[in-house]
Amino acid sequence: MKKIDEGKADLGSRVASVKSMRQGGRQIDEMPGQEILMKGPMEGSFVGHIFRWEAIGLPSDSFHPQISIELSTANRFDAIKGRPASLTDDEAMALWDHMLQSFKLRPTSEPIKTSDASPQKIQIGTTIQTGQVCPQNGIWESKLGGNKVFMREGENVPHVHVKLPVTGWDKLKGKSQSEYVETTWVLSEYRDKSGKPLA
């Protein structure tokens, strides 16, 4: 984990005296991530804590951003002299857990009332293109190769994987026998957001 490695690097020569209090995977509000809780000498020789949680995220995907959260004690800044941590280990960990549990992913749109929700927003046979945003939960069929996939509303419409005609000479030259290409997708069946058929 990049941020965790940076946190250890920040400690410099003091890293040998650092104690790992907890480390591993941790999910926050359906977002997977990793955390590390360390205790050791801070700048100015006082013992303190450095706690970090990080979600890697997905490149160019605003719905899955990279997130890093940090809590530290016994800090020293230009205008503040270092001092011992005012929290015990148990208190620091309890504060950290409470803080992480308070984080919630903000909805990307106004919630829809159940009474107003329409699971079938568009007609069967509606077409969309690779790169667009899927407007409806359902089974979508590619016009190129007939591939069928389940897509959720709000997801980016994918490319399709197709095989290419190649000769024996092409294979010797290392030419790829397949590639991902843009295509048109057609809605063929309604599904709920979990992928189950609608009654």
Nearest by Cα to 73 from 22, 21, 38:
38
Per-residue pLDDT tens over the stretch 96-141: 999 888 887 766 555 545 444 446 678 999 999 998 999 999 999 9
For residue 43, what pLDDT is reported? Answer: 72
Which DSSP string corresponds to 74-102?
A: S--BTTB-----SS-HHHHHHHHHHHHHH
Per-residue pLDDT tens over the stretch 70-87: 988 887 665 566 678 888
Nearest by Cα to 50 from 62, 61, 36:
36
With beta carbons less than 8 A apart as the criterion, state whether 120 and 190 touch.
yes
Per-residue pLDDT tens over the stretch 45-60: 788 888 999 988 777 6
- Using the predicted structure, report yes or no on whether residue 34 has a pLDDT greater than 50: yes
Radius of gyration of the chain (CA): 25
- Mean predicted lDDT score pLDDT of the chain: 79
Nearest by Cα to 149 from 197, 195, 198:
195
For residue 13, what pLDDT is reported? Answer: 55
Nearest by Cα to 161 from 138, 137, 177, 173:
177
